[in-house]
Amino acid sequence: MTATPETTTRPDRQRRQTEFEDNDQKPVGHGRMLRKEDPRLVRGRGRFVDDVQLPGMLHLAILRSPVAHARIVSIDTSAAQAHPKVKLVVTGEMLAEKGLAWMPTLSNDVQAVLATDKVRFQGQEVAFVVAEDRYSARDALELIDVEYDELPAVVDARRALDPSMPVIRDDLEGRTDNHLFDWETGDAEATEAVFARADVVVTEDIVYPRVHPAPMETAAAVADYDRVDGKLTLWSTSQAPHAHRTLYAIVAGLPEHKIRVIAPDIGGGFGGKVPIYPGYVCAIVASLLLGVPVKWAEDRTENLTSGSFARDYIMRGEIAATKEGKILAIRTHVLADHGAFNGQASPSKYPAGFFGVFTGSYDIEAAYAKVTAVYTNKAPGGVAYACSFRITEAVHLVERLVTSLALEMGIDQAELRLRNLIKPEQFPYETKTGWVYDSGNYEATLRESMRIAGYEELLAEREEKRARGELMGIGVSFFTEAVGAGPRKNMDILGLGMADGCELRIHPTGKAVVRLSVKTQGQGHETTFAQIVAEEIGIPPEDIDVVHGDTDNTPFGLGTYGSRSTPVSGAAAALVARKVRDKAQLIASSMLEVSVADLEWTKGSFHVKGDPSAAVTIQDIAMRAHGAGDLPDGMEGGLEAQICYNPENLTYPNGAYICVVDVDRGTGEVKVRRFIAVDDCGTRINPMIIEGQVHGGLVDGLGMALMEIIEFDESGNCLGGSFMDYLIPTALECPDWETGFTVTPSPHHPIGAKGVGESATVGSPPAFVNAVVDALHPLGIRNIDMPMTPSRVWDAIQGHPRPPV
Amino acid sequence: MQVTMTVNGTEVTEDIEPRTLLVHFLRDTLGLTGTHWGCDTSNCGVCVVWVDEQPVKSCTMLAAMAGGKAVRTVEDLERDGVLDSVQQGFMECHGLQCGYCTPGMMMTGRWLLDHNPDPTEQEIREAISGQICRCTGYSTIVRSIRWAATQGQGSPVTHTTETAGTPS
Amino acid sequence: MQVPAPFEYERAESVQHTLALLERLGDDARVVAGGHSLLPMMKLRLATPEYLVDINDLRGELGYVVVAEDMVRIGALARHADLLGDEALAAVFPIFRDAERLIADPVVRNWGTLGGSLCQADPSEDLTTVCDALDAECVITGSGGERVVPMAEFHQGPYETAVGDAELLTEVRFPVRPGGSSAYQKVKRRAGDWPVAASAVAVWLDGGTITDARVALTAVGVEGTVDVDEALVGRPPSEEAFAAAGALASAASDPVTDARGSADYKRHLAGELTVRALRTAVERALTSTPTSTP
């Protein structure tokens, strides 16, 4: 490992052809390899939570509030209880008697499992029914009569702190307003001083509207409590099964060893399956009360109206520069809408997540941010949808500001970035807000994206089109991500340190099983982790079974989100394999009767230096380790190891994105013609999977940029409660994504890898917006908020832009 | 009521409530859980199966309406241990990540190739435009179906778990 | 997943059988064809019929598209995919292909029907507008026989039609007049989404002069057609004439602001899309050979 970035470039587009041509090779380790999880999934033989059928299983359905803010006057469940197929009806009052009406959120707030006093958002859980089948459970919901005394709803975050507003969280003692927290970072005074002497200052009001991860599979759980042995087995759509188990132990009062959380195949998560939802707890309570398995599966409306939302940041950003285009400072004030309960899933010491990286990829002199967070009568959440703990918001802010500055100064967007990017020799680079970026070769990455795009030709084409009155736009963004939380001393969730366990066992015949604490929701862990181990120990990936998503059978760790699997658990897998290899080397030395120092490792075997014929394979060693033959003095049998990896720093993947759009001036429709993404995620383990991760993030970005939004009316009714209203891109809106890469290894990661799962979701939205802004700039437009629907683009062209909230 | 239909070539007769949706009939009654569901409004298409040789969103058809008809699900794509070229294409081209929309995408892909053996990229995009994938960004799904188009139906499977290219 | 409330299911074998079932079951019965509008409403429990009469087996009887010289007749059970794929229909009324390409998605189009779309009577529904522009007539069949209702009387407000409790929409008829063509222009936020706004145009020319034009609008608060004669009839086609017609369409529209767009925008689209549809329809009319029936 070296601290000097080694950067190589090669576009994926060219690779693709070669990869298909020589696919008779099989990598023992890193390289393109088809996924181990696919054979079952393409046969329809995955096992998702709603596929779980247990004997005697009952079905749970949840009654939700139709209003955003109201006192509960009364709940009459008698008709529902009289339904012939209903086994149980539970209200908040009944849960309160058992001390289960409230549960902790991941941000040390509390959230109602079922409402007792008030409902605080439309869609909040009010009661649940358990019945013999899912249809009857739904029918019985209609028989519950709830009387609400409606209260004014706090919908506009800008007005949440007005003294006239009702106090949403009157359940919290001493609470007299809707203020949640103030958080600041950077140096306000130093920043003000730099702004005062800057030649150019550009200010933008940028709204990052509320959106939703909306995985294709909604949240679901099957709780099965065995009254005889007192053990609860919970199949659930969890991105973090171990953290969930610990929290269930705390909430439900069950001993932790009597809880087994199984996260089977998961139909996408995107952060939406990090929190514990009341529905999971309801299923557990029902199984505890009834002693039979109980299944809960939320419908799409429940998912969109009550599941974890993302973003909802109202930002004012300022950027200061010299007249030569040297960026000097960035400053921002943010109003954060956290909904009715602070359910944000991020490390405890980071109430605004990792928003502190808002200085982006630029070498600047000063920076300051202040975030004010408020409660509103909306669903809780805040960190979801592949946001890397709010780096999406931070990157959007800085990348929108940089393009605004470029347009204001008449400097090309790419050129302005090239002048200001952190230089390779400046790494490790400490930002003005205290983040230490590990490595990067930003200029090479940006130039690679410009090369693939044919940037100069695009600029010329844009000018030709402008001359004809056509609206073509080019958008550039450059992002730096910060992924792979911990270190554990800085980062914890509810006191649980963000480190990951990993266990590797080599069987006597040289096959292996590796057990992870993280859990795939589609990222391909079963393949990538087999490859990581294969690379280190030389066993073919197909001979390595990857076990994950079952707390009884895997070591403790904090789960998959924030792009942390490869940076943290990937490191753990590499190191545990090296630990095993170290032991294997001792055994090899005794088998070959030479000293350890005289052995040389080639992937899969040790041989005597200078004599390749005197060799033992890892398989030979595994048999010896389990056999009856001699082992080195004092060595125990077996060939296995366990580790808990605590990262010393985050990893900082980065990338340069270029978007090309055409805007129909008459209808405001935006057509994304091309999108070029060049990512640097350090060492690339499986290029096919990496490309897939990037593609997935790009479509997220396109969705947010063009169509996705969770809106509310003035009464707090959610206007995005179904897939008729919450639009997700189809194949027809997406261009054929063009990808490339550079490789700058992380100096502190054992194999130099960085995370990549969220890079494109984080980095692409500003590229889309910058492209549309670039197209509309000749009409005097410098900013437009997402989602850039035809109407909102046309309204902006008319000079009447409508903020999304 | 009693309903009889052919599912993946086998006639089944079951007592059901008239309101039973086809997707629940397949999943809960017959245990064919390869077909998934993802919304309530027939927008997402993860539930696509064939009824009488036509793709349909099985969350928006009653099991009763499928009575007397022939239903085909993802479980029937593999024949005699040989994967459909569409299944193979999805593996070869990374056309799936979480795998939740995949059965519906593959059923539409197979239908498209049966009616248009050499579709353009745009025709593939149009064909799957009623089905949402949240993971892939669609390019690899398009490539997967194109891959299958180059193989023809029922091509023998040479490798089902891995192939490799140049290491990075 | 959301599921419908309980109901009884009946499967009709013929039009006569359907009518007999509807007569017996009364106003608690609903007819289901493709089901892609009704079943989602039932899952949301916005529709709770006690009886559902499945008419899909009537496809042999009502699934036709017949293009004759002076009249196109389409059975109520013709599916969207049928209308999209029918070359003869596209030759006479290219507006059908314009519209059908953009209705829902290919899988839904395999099942959704013309009759179902018209009877659902959603104010944002495309085919109603197409039928308005083409001056269609609806054949409604009851036990007493058929009655023919012009489009202008078929819809009686959002989700309300002239079809009585024991009646069935069986056919839609479209008069064919020489010298004309048609087009449909729509803006939506995403493939498969309902229209933000759309415009359906049918236009007839004789010797380079517009002799008749019909414009109908979708989702902008206008029922039936918009009178654009003043702008177009008796004039040669020109950008100025189209713009004048577009202005009339804008002025006639009465849209509301919602998640799909602002009222101003939709009013603008009514005009913009009318202009674009006119351009296309006129070009089509002028390029179709004068001897053939348009």
DSSP 3-state of A682: strand
Q: Is residue B166 part of a domain?
A: no
* A19: pLDDT strictly greater than 60: no
pLDDT at A610: 95
Tell me how far apart the alpha carbons of residues A534 and A457 are, in angstroms, rounded to a whole number: 44
- CB pairs A-C closer than 8 Å: 69
The minimal CB distance from C40 to the residues B60, B62, B130 is found for B60
Which region among A21-35, A67-81, C268-282 has the lowest average model confidence (pLDDT)? A21-35
Summarised one tens digit per residue, pLDDT across range A104-137 is 999 999 999 999 999 999 999 999 999 999 999 9
**Residues B52 and B7 grouped into a single domain:** yes
Q: Does A724 touch chain B (CB under 8 A)?
A: yes
Whether the per-residue pLDDT at A18 is higher than 80: the answer is: no
Distance between CA A753 and CA A685 in Å, rounded? 8
**pLDDT for the residue numbered A17:** 39
Length of chain B counted residue by residue: 168
Of B39, B140, B161, the CB nearest to A695: B140
Q: Is residue B151 part of a domain?
A: yes
What is the total count of domains within chain B? 2
* A44: nearest CB among B19, B74, B98: B74
Is the CB of residue A20 less than 8 Å away from at least one CB of chain B? yes
* Architecture of the domain delimited by C180-286: 2-Layer Sandwich (3.30)
Provide the 3-class DSSP secondary structure of residue A290. helix
Q: Looking at this protein, which amino acid is placed at residue A220?
A: A
Domain C-terminal end among B30, B47, B74? B74
| Residue A251 pLDDT exceeds 90 | no
Q: In DSSP terms, which residues pair with A680 in a beta bridge?
A: A654
Q: A484, A754 in Cβ contact below 8 A?
A: yes
Token pair for residue A20?
A: 């298909």
Residues 6+ apart with CB under 8 A from A51: A264, B27, B33
What is the reported pLDDT for B77?
A: 98
The answer on B37 and B18 residing in a single domain is yes
Q: What is the mean pLDDT of residues C105-130?
A: 95
Mean pLDDT value of segment B137-141: 98
Domain membership of residue B39 (yes or no) is yes
pLDDT band at A429 (very low <50, low <70, confident <90, very high): very high
List chains touching C (3+ CB pairs under 8 A). Answer: A, B
What pLDDT, in 10s, does the model give residues A554-595? 999 999 999 999 999 999 999 999 999 999 999 999 999 999
Considering the domain architecture, whether residues B126 and B70 belong to the same structural domain is answered as no
Q: Report the C-alpha gap between A158 and A410 in whole angstroms.
A: 33
Q: Which two tokens stand for residue A210?
A: 């509320």
What's residue B153's pLDDT? 54
What local confidence, expressed as pLDDT, does residue B167 receive?
33
- The pTM score is 0.96
**One-letter amino acid of B74:** V
Residue A756: phi and psi, rounded to 5, are -145, -5
Query: What average pLDDT does the segment A253-272 reach?
Result: 96
**Segment A197-237, tens digit of pLDDT:** 999 999 999 999 999 999 999 999 999 999 999 999 999 99
Distance CA A277, CA A244 (A): 10
Angle between helices A413-420 and A442-453 (to 10 degrees): 160
- Rounded to the nearest 10 degrees, what angle do helices A241-252 and A278-290 cross at? 60
Instruction: Mark whether B42 and B7 lie in a shared domain.
Output: yes
In a domain, B68, yes or no: yes
Residue-wise pLDDT for A777-794, tens only, equals 999 999 999 999 999 999
Quickly state the pLDDT bin for A379 (edges 50, 70, 90).
Answer: very high
Contacts with C242 from chain A: Cβ below 8 Å: none
Q: CB A553: neighbour CB atoms within 10 A?
A: 13
pLDDT classification of A25: cutoffs 50, 70, 90: low
Q: In A, residues 695-714, which contact B (CB 8 Å cutoff)?
A: 695-699
DSSP string, A72-106: EEEEE-HHHHHSTTEEEEEEHHHHHHTT-SEEE-T
One domain, residues B128 and B63: no
Q: Tell me the residues of chain C between 94 and 123 that have a Cβ less than 8 Å away from chain A.
A: 105
The CATH number covering residue B95 comes to 1.10.150.120
Mean pLDDT, chain A, rounded, equals: 95
**In this predicted model, what pLDDT tens digit does every residue of A234-249 receive, in sequence order?**
999 999 999 999 999 9
| pLDDT > 70: percent of chain A | 97
Check residue A1 and give its pLDDT. 37
Q: Are residue B69 and residue B88 in the same domain, yes or no? A: no
- Domain residues for the domain of B149 are 83-157
The secondary element (H helix, E strand) that includes residue A12 is helix A12-21
Residues B113 and B60 reside in one and the same domain: no
Residues B141 and B109 both lie in one domain: yes
Residue A591 has a CB neighbour count (10 Å cut-off) of 20
Dihedral pair phi/psi, residue A483, rounded to 5°: -130, 155
pLDDT-based confidence at residue C292 (cuts at 50, 70, 90): very low
How is residue B94 written in tokens? 């990374």
Picking from A35, A41, A50, A732 by the largest number of B CB atoms within 10 A of its own CB, the best residue to mutate is: A41
CB within 8 Å: A711 and C259: yes
Residues paired with A129 in a beta bridge: A61, A89
- Asked whether C111 and C34 are in contact (CB, 8 A), the reply is yes
Contact B100 A732 (CB under 8 A): no
Q: Which CATH architecture describes the domain C59-175?
A: 2-Layer Sandwich (3.30)
Q: Return d(Cα A475, Cα A698) in angstroms, integer.
A: 14
Which tens digits make up the pLDDT trace of C80-112?
999 999 999 999 999 999 999 999 999 999 999
Alpha carbon of C229: minimum distance to chain A alpha carbons (Å) = 24
- In this predicted structure, the answer to whether residue B158 has a pLDDT above a threshold of 50 is no
Taking any CB pair shorter than 8 Å as contact, residues of chain A touching chain C are: 134-135, 138-139, 142, 297, 299-301, 666-669, 706-707, 709, 711, 719-720, 724-725, 727, 729-730, 732-733, 789-791, 794-795, 798, 800, 802
In order, the DSSP letters of C124-140 are T-HHHHHHHHTT-EEEE
Same fold, C8-57 and C180-286: no
Q: Cβ of A266 under 8 Å from any chain B Cβ? A: yes
**What's the mean pLDDT in C166-179?**
97
One domain, residues B106 and B47: no
- Asked if residue A192 has pLDDT above 80, the reply is yes
* pLDDT given for residue A21 in this prediction: 38
Mutation target among A134, A732, A794, A802 for the C interface, most CBs of C within 10 A: A794
Q: Could you give the CA distance from residue A76 to residue A83 in angstroms, rounded to a whole number?
A: 13
- Interchain CB contact of A218 with B (< 8 Å): yes
Give the domain-ending residue among B50, B74, B98. B74
Residue among A42, A265, A305, A659 with most chain B CBs within 10 A, to mutate: A42
User: Could you give the angle at which helices A442-453 and A455-467 cross, rounded to 10 degrees?
Assistant: 50
Contacts of A136 in chain C (CB under 8 A): none
Interchain contact, B128 vs A731, CB within 8 Å: yes
The answer on pLDDT for A7 being more than 80 is no
Residue B166 CB burial class (10 angstroms; 0-12, 13-18, ≥19): middle
Q: Are residues B69 and B128 in the same domain?
A: no
Residue A339 to residues A103, A168, A210, A279, A726, Cα–Cα distance (Å): 16, 10, 10, 18, 19
Name the neighbours of A, counting chains with at least 3 Cβ pairs within 8 A. B, C
Q: What percent of chain C has pLDDT over 90?
A: 95
Mention every residue, 6+ apart, whose C-beta is less than 8 A from residue A143. Answer: A79, A80, A82, A83
Q: Exposed (0-12), middle (13-18) or buried (19+): which is B10, by Cβ within 10 Å?
A: exposed
Q: Do C187 and A669 touch (CB under 8 A)?
A: yes
In the stretch 177-236 of chain C, residues with CB closer than 8 A to chain B read: 191-192
pLDDT at C289: 52
Q: What was the pLDDT predicted at B87?
A: 98
Q: What is the DSSP string of A475-507?
A: EEEEEE--BS---TTT-EETTEES-EEEEEEE-
Cβ–Cβ gap A695/B136 under 8 Å: yes
Minimum-distance CB partner of B168 among A23, A36, A684: A684
User: Which of A63, A136, A791 to mutate: most C Cβ within 10 Å?
Assistant: A791
Residue with tokens 């991020």: A346
Report yes or no: A513 and A580 within 8 Å, Cβ to Cβ: no
Q: Is residue A13 pLDDT above 90, yes or no?
A: no
**Strands, E, within A509-610: which ranges?**
512-516, 544-547, 599-602, 605-608
Tell me what pLDDT residue B168 has.
31
Tokens 């918001």, residue located: A393
pLDDT higher than 60, residue A2: no
Residue of A nearest to B86 (CA): A42
Domain limits of chain C?
A: 8-57, 59-175, 180-286
Strands (E) located in A380-470: 381-382, 429-430, 436-437
Least confident of A59-68, A524-533, B151-160: B151-160
DSSP label at residue A276: P
Token readout for A261 is 């959380």
Best A8, A9, A43 residue to mutate vs chain B (most B CBs within 10 Å): A43
- Non-local (6+) Cβ contacts of A401 within 8 A are A202, A204, A317, A318, A319, A330
CATH number of the CATH domain containing B47: 3.10.20.30
pLDDT value, residue A622: 98
- Domain membership of residue B57 (yes or no) is yes
At A252 the pLDDT is 82
Residue B154, pLDDT score: 44
For C292, counting Cβ atoms within 10 Å of its Cβ (0-12 exposed, 13-18 middle, 19+ buried), the class is: exposed
The yes-or-no verdict on residue A747 having pLDDT over 60 is yes
Predicted local distance difference test score (pLDDT) of residue C19: 97
Which of these three, B49, B74, B99, is where a domain ends? B74
Which candidate from C3, C6, C273 shows the least CB-CB separation from A134?
C3
Instruction: Name the H helices within A173-213.
Output: 188-197
Report the residue from B98, B131, B166 with minimal CB separation from A522.
Answer: B98
User: Does C260 sit within 8 Å of A134, measured CB to CB?
Assistant: no
Verify whether the Cβ–Cβ distance A727 to C193 is below 8 Å: yes
Q: Are residues B129 and C43, on separate chains, in Cβ contact within 8 Å?
A: no
- Residue B164 domain flag: no
Residue B149 belongs to a domain: yes
Closest residue to C6, CB basis, from B17, B48, B55: B17
Q: In whole angstroms, give the CA distance from residue A102 to residue C194.
A: 41
Per CB-CB distance under 8 Å, the chain C contacts of A142 are: 5, 45
Q: Please indicate, yes or no, if residue B12 is contained in any of the structural domains.
A: yes
Whether B102 sits inside 8 A of A41 (CB atoms) is yes
pLDDT at A26 (0 to 100): 73
Shortest distance, CA A304 to any CA of chain C (angstroms) = 13
Of C201, C198, C205, C174, nearest to C70 by C-alpha is C174
Which of A142, A711, A790 is facing C189, going by the closest CB pair?
A790
CA distance linking residue A523 with residue A696, whole number of Å: 10
Q: Residues of A numbered 431-490 whose beta carbons fall under 8 angstroms of chain B's beta carbons: which are they?
A: none
Taking residue A90's Cβ as centre, other Cβ atoms within 10 Å add up to 22
Residue B162, pLDDT > 50, answer no
CATH of domain C8-57: 3.30.43.10
Q: For residues B125 and B142, state if they share a domain.
A: yes
Q: At residue A20, does pLDDT exceed 50?
A: no
Asked if residue A85 has pLDDT above 70, the reply is yes
Cβ(C135)–Cβ(C174) below 8 Å:
yes
Let me know whether B126 and B145 are in one domain.
yes
pLDDT band at A4 (very low <50, low <70, confident <90, very high): very low
Beta strands in chain C (DSSP E): 8-11, 29-32, 51-54, 65-67, 71-75, 137-142, 145-150, 168-175, 180-188, 195-206, 209-218, 225-226
Tell me the pLDDT tens digit for each residue of A678-725. 999 999 999 999 999 999 999 999 999 999 999 999 999 999 999 999
